[in-house]
Each structure stands twice: as C-alpha cells, then as structure tokens.
Amino acid sequence: MEVVRIRNANVEDSAAIAGIYNQGIDDRIATYETERRSAKDQRAWLESIAGQYPAVVAQSGCEIIGWAGAAPYRDRECYRGIGEFSIYVRRDWRSRGVGDFLLRGLITEAERLGLWKLLSRIFPFNEASRALCRKHGFREVGIYEKHARLDGQWVDAVIVERLITANLTR
Ligand SMILES: CC(C)(COP(=O)(O)OP(=O)(O)OC[C@H]1O[C@@H](n2cnc3c(N)ncnc32)[C@H](O)[C@@H]1OP(=O)(O)O)[C@@H](O)C(=O)NCCC(=O)NCCS
C-alpha cells in the first residue's frame, strides 16, 4: 500500500472531510443522516471540538483519503470524557487498511485528550465497521431496535464502546 500518514485534522481539511462523509451518506451503510454536508458544516464541527475531542485524517500524498472524529456523547459535564465517534474512508480506499490506521490514531489522540471512553452506533449489516471496531477492542454492548428510519425503513443500531483505561484512574 502507498504510504498513508495519520495526523490531526485541521479546518483546511473541511472540504475533503465533507466529500468523504457525503460518500458514506450516499452509500446508506453508515448513518441515518441523508442530508449532505458542506465544508462549512465540517469546519464548524472541527472548531467546536478543537482541543477537547479527537479528529484525525488519513493522507496519501497530498490527498485526504479518510477521517475519524468524535463529538461529545452528551452535553452534561459528567459525560465530558465520552466521545461518540464516526469514521469514514473514501470509497476507492476502503478495505485497504486505512480504517485500521485511522481508528488507532483516533484512540491515541482520545487518550492524549483525557477521554475515558469512545463509543459509536453501527448498522448491523455494516460488517467492515463491526470488524474494525472488534479489532480495536470495542465491545458490542447491545442493539437499539428500530432506532431511527433510513429512507422510511426502520434500521437497528449496534452500540459499541471501548474504555481508555489509562484515563480511568486520573
Ligand atoms: C467502515 C470503514 C471505516 C472501515 O475502514 P476500511 O479502511 O474499509 O477497513 P480496513 O481495511 O482497515 O479493515 C478493517 C477490518 O475490517 C475488515 N473489513 C474491511 N472491509 C470489509 C468488508 N467489506 N467486509 C467485511 N469486513 C471488512 C477487515 O478485514 C479488517 O479486519 P481484519 O484486519 O481483522 O481482517 C470503511 O469501510 C468505510 O468508510 N465505510 C463506509 C462508512 C462507514 O461505514 N463508516 C462507519 C460508520 S459506523
């Protein structure tokens, strides 16, 4: 595989992040969201989490080929150390190990920022995402049944979580 570098995301990456996110939205495999995102949306998200929650990109040459990032799980202060994450790889780069690098980078950055848990929700049929999370020590907590509709159809969601043990004793 070509050299892939993982680094922290910055606002200059907003358009590439939006483009890759929109592929995932269009594929109907990853999210209940159906509304496409703009660079401005992604910039606002990056600014809102800066220094508190992790966001990383995968870069090959000068191209961004994937991203992973977290947002607060809930607004309440007691939950500030829990990040709810998303991960998206550009279509032409999927199943080539990029998600693996990205998730490793996201966990490392989450640890550096003091988070004690990462969690996410995955569609049951999203085998790649479930395999990736399993590989990185995520536990499947259970299934939210008929959690939301996607294009009018109820879709379940598998909840996954991973503790960041280094930050549990701080
Ligand atoms: C899910 C996603 C982030 C995984 O990233 P990726 O770069 O494709 O995955 P990797 O190549 O790093 O593979 C990670 C693991 O998943 C497995 N995997 C990859 N593609 C797979 C597929 N199509 N079906 C089943 N397992 C798959 C790999 O075998 C690997 O596990 P292993 O090393 O134990 O064999 C990526 O496919 C993607 O962006 N999908 C669309 C958006 C999405 O579903 N995001 C997640 C929302 S919850």
- Tell me the per-residue pLDDT of 63-73, one tens digit each, with 9 for 90 and over: 999 999 999 99
Distance of CA 72 to the CA centre of its chain: 12
Return the SS3 of 64: strand
69 closest CA partner among 24, 118, 35? 118
Q: Please give the pLDDT value at position 2.
A: 78
Pairing status of strand 139-150 against strand 117-122: unpaired
Task: Return the domain boundaries, the chain.
Answer: 5-167
Q: Please give the pLDDT value at position 169.
A: 86
Q: Please give the pLDDT value at position 149.
A: 97
Output the pTM of the full model: 0.97
Separation between Cα atoms, residue 69 and residue 57, nearest integer Å: 9
Of ligand 1's listed atoms, the one at least distance from the Cα of 95 is: 11
Residue type at position 124: P
Count CB atoms within 10 A of the CB of residue 141.
Answer: 12
Cβ–Cβ < 8 Å for 145, 156: yes
Q: Please give the pLDDT value at position 134.
A: 98
pLDDT tens profile 76-103:
999 999 999 999 999 999 999 999 999 9
CATH fold of 5-167: Aminopeptidase (3.40.630)
Paired tokens of 78: 């007691």
Residues of the chain scoring pLDDT < 70 = 1
Of ligand 1's listed atoms, the one at least distance from the Cα of 127 is: 25
Pocket probe for ligand 1: among 89, 101, 122, 147, the residue whose CB has the most ligand atoms within 8 Å is: 89
